[in-house]
């Protein structure tokens, strides 16, 4: 087994690549039929996407409240930043997104509690959670202006430098556990009943 760390933009390691070579599994330890391990992995990811993102709504809501406090107490041209109608609309819009995200996870959690099958729900929840996090990070960077990129430890960092950290880490969230593009296809096919994308035939290998 070869485990390779993937270093993020923050310099930290949150994800790894795992390579399994020449693996042999005793017959009495197999979790399913031979050759269907990848399908079992995909089925496991349906629930994993819920547990890996269920914290997002309350976590993002805390950041919004900090940004609201910042907007109320930061003066621009002699007036609070919160008096800017564009700032007010963007803060209200992201608050509505987070409220919707919370309800999506409540519904998905109820399905898991009741043992109901998961088809597209966790895919939709993960995409919405990750992209709402990115949207909030961009908003935070815009509100903090030149102080936005400053990281924790800088004496000039606003809000403890957490907006910069959020901005850098949320980029990788749309990859871990299934990319947003793949999960949108899952929602389209398994949730909306749209036709699956046609498979592209592999090009013949040159001899």
* Structure confidence by residue, pLDDT tens digits, 144-176: 999 999 999 999 999 999 999 999 999 888 887
pLDDT score at 140: 98
Q: What is the distance between the alpha carbons of residues 149 and 167, in angstroms, rounded to a whole number?
A: 9
Q: What is the distance between the alpha carbons of residues 174 and 128, in angstroms, rounded to a whole number?
A: 10
Helix pair 162-173, 121-144: axis angle to 10 deg: 150
Weakest-pLDDT range from 40-54, 89-103, 175-189: 40-54
pLDDT score at 155: 95
Q: For 166-193, what is the mean pLDDT?
A: 89
Q: What percent of the chain has pLDDT over 70?
A: 97
pLDDT score at 121: 93
Q: What is the pTM of this model?
A: 0.84
pLDDT score at 146: 94
pLDDT score at 144: 97
pLDDT score at 16: 85
* Structure confidence by residue, pLDDT tens digits, 36-66: 877 777 777 778 888 889 999 999 999 999 9
Distance from the Cα of residue 178 to its chain's centroid = 10
Sign of CA dihedral 142, 146, 147, 149: positive
List domains and CATH numbers for the chain. Answer: 48-191 (1.20.140.10)
Q: For 13-33, what is the mean pLDDT?
A: 85
Q: What is the distance between the alpha carbons of residues 159 and 70, in angstroms, rounded to a whole number?
A: 8
pLDDT score at 11: 85
pLDDT band, very low/low/confident/very high, at 205 (cuts 50, 70, 90): low
């Amino acid at each position: 087994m070869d485990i390779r760390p993937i270093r993020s933009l923050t310099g930290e390691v949150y994800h790894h690549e795992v390579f399994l070579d020449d693996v042999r599994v005793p017959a009495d330890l197999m979790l399913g039929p031979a050759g269907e391990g990848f399908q079992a992995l995909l089925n496991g990811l349906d629930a994993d996407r819920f547990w890996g993102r269920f914290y997002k709504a309350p976590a993002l809501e805390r950041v919004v409240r900090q940004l609201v406090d910042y907007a109320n107490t930061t003066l621009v041209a002699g007036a609070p930043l919160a008096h800017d109608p564009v700032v007010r609309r963007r803060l209200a819009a992201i608050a509505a997104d987070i409220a919707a995200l919370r309800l999506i996870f409540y519904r998905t959690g109820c399905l898991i509690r009741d043992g109901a099958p998961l088809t597209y729900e966790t895919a939709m929840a993960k995409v919405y959670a990750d992209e709402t996090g990115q949207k909030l990070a961009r908003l935070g960077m815009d509100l903090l202006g030149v102080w936005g990129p400053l990281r924790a430890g800088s004496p000039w960092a606003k809000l403890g430098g957490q907006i910069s950290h959020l901005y850098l880490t949320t980029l990788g969230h749309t990859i871990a556990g299934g990319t947003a593009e793949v999960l949108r296809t899952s929602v389209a096919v398994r949730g909306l009943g749209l036709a699956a994308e046609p498979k592209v035939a592999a090009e013949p290998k040159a001899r």
